[in-house]
Amino acid sequence: MKNRLSSTLDNINRRSVLKASAAGVVGSVALTQPVAANCDNRLEFPDQSYTQESVESVRIDKVCIDPDRGPLRVHVNGGGVTGTSELLEGGIYDTPISVSLDTPLTQTATLTATHEGTDSEEVTRDQARIEVDSSQSGDDGTDEPDGAFTRFESQVTDGTYVVVDEARLTTPGFVSVHIARPEEGIADVGFINPENGEAQNAAATIIGFSEFLEPGTYENVHVPLFEDEELDAVSGEIDRLPEPAVLVSLPHEDSNGNREWDFYDETDEDPAYDFGDTTFAPPLDRPTDIAGVVPLAENTDQFEISR
């Protein structure tokens, strides 16, 4: 296991790190920003792909509501399904908003999203293709794991965040990122036991977590690092990854249903999905994955941002 962790970092180079935009990244905190009265009332409804039998909710990536026209709800319809968001006050919603569907979507369809005022006057609309593919749910002999999982590839960032390439949650929850082994100034313990390669000290090694996620499959999940000082591994002395490190991604359940992160100790709510009898090693037969991450600020001569 030690050799594999070391080789994960050693194998990061320009040939293996591809440029990628941050477009489509799932944000880290759902914030509403006040806006002027000339807000353009836009919304962004991206195409989405789900490898599961049915879809119970879809996401709206961005909503901008003129304060003079709020509060509003986002409505989704098409493919024989409808859905309505919670009531949204005027402002800019920069992180995804989940819209629950009245009935599950069981086949690929094009849906239309609109947001309307209290007088039902239509403001704007956007369309998205929602792909539902149950053939990739893990029952067809492929290497796609059945259930919750994450895919986490080696990358270069500015050290304040990482991007988990893919995450599937079968229940509402979050994605956490852990330090794989002790790092000076970060953690006294590591997620991986160096003696046997097994997971350990889960709560004590978390350095960041995603926003709340509804059940489904997500790509490019943005996870901020070193923001929450209630985490044992976040001291407040640093605000970014200081040097290349091996990190671990892991999906968590929102076990108390409050849509907020509560896992600060092993006995807290929102635990990670159960490892079962598996050990921490490839291939993907468990919900976790590892990646080597290089912070750009300390490596400008050798690397460029890939996420």
pLDDT band at 282 (very low <50, low <70, confident <90, very high): very low
Residue 278 or residue 163, greater confidence: 163
Torsion sign (Cα): 115, 97, 49, 106 = negative
Higher-confidence position of 45 and 195:
45
Residue 93's identity, in one-letter code, is: Y
Expressed in percent and rounded to 5, the helix, strand and coil fractions of the chain are: 5, 40, 55
Residues of the chain with CATH 2.60.40: 32-135
Task: State mean pLDDT over 189-213.
Answer: 86
The conformation of residue 239, written as its DSSP 8-state character, comes to S
Strand order of the sheet with strand 289-295?
155-157, 289-295, 245-253, 173-179, 206-209
Band (306; pLDDT cuts 50, 70, 90):
low
Per-residue confidence (pLDDT) for residue 59, from 0 to 100: 87
- Region 43-58 average pLDDT: 85
Average pLDDT of span 219-233: 94
If we measure between CA atoms, which residue out of 165, 153, 158 comes closest to residue 305? 158
In DSSP terms, 59 is beta-bridged to 98
The DSSP code sequence of 125-185 is: EEEEEEEE-GGGSS-SSSS--SSSEEE---EEE-SSEEEEEEEEESSSEEEEEEESS-BTT
Residue 124 or 219, more confident: 219
- pLDDT-based confidence at 262, cuts 50/70/90? very high
pLDDT at 53: 82
Q: Which helix (H) or strand (E) holds 48?
A: strand 48-50
Q: Is the peptide bond before 71 cis (omega within 30 degrees of 0)?
A: yes
pLDDT at 229: 94
- For residue 10, name the pLDDT band (cuts at 50, 70, 90): very low
Percentage with pLDDT > 70 across the chain:
71
- pLDDT tens-digit series, residues 139-175: 444 444 457 888 898 899 989 999 999 998 988 999 9
- State yes or no: pLDDT of 131 exceeds 90: no
Which tops the pLDDT comparison, 51 or 279?
A: 51
pLDDT-derived band at 98 (thresholds 50, 70, 90) equals confident
d(Cα 12, Cα 9) in Å, to the nearest integer?
Answer: 6
pLDDT confidence tier of residue 307, bands split at 50, 70 and 90: low
What's the pLDDT at 135?
A: 62
Provide the CA 66 distance to its chain's centre, in angstroms: 28
* Cβ contact 168:160 at 8 Å: no
pTM metric for this prediction: 0.55
Which helix H or strand E contains 249, and what residues bound it?
A: strand 245-253
The helix/strand count (H/E) of the chain reads as 1, 19
User: Rounded mean pLDDT of 119-144?
Assistant: 63
- Return the pLDDT at 28: 30
Q: Tell the CATH topology of 32-135.
A: Immunoglobulin-like (2.60.40)
What is the overall mean pLDDT for the chain?
75
Q: How far apart are CA 191 and CA 22, in angstroms?
A: 27
pLDDT for res 115: 76
Lowest average pLDDT, out of 27-41, 54-68, 216-230, 275-289, goes to 27-41
Is the bond preceding 215 in cis, omega lying within 30 degrees of 0? no
pLDDT interval class at 247 (50, 70, 90)? very high
Return the ∠ at Cα 75 (arms to 74 and 81), rounded to 5°: 145
Q: What value does the mean pLDDT take over residues 125-149? A: 66
pLDDT in tens, 58-80: 888 888 877 766 677 888 888 78
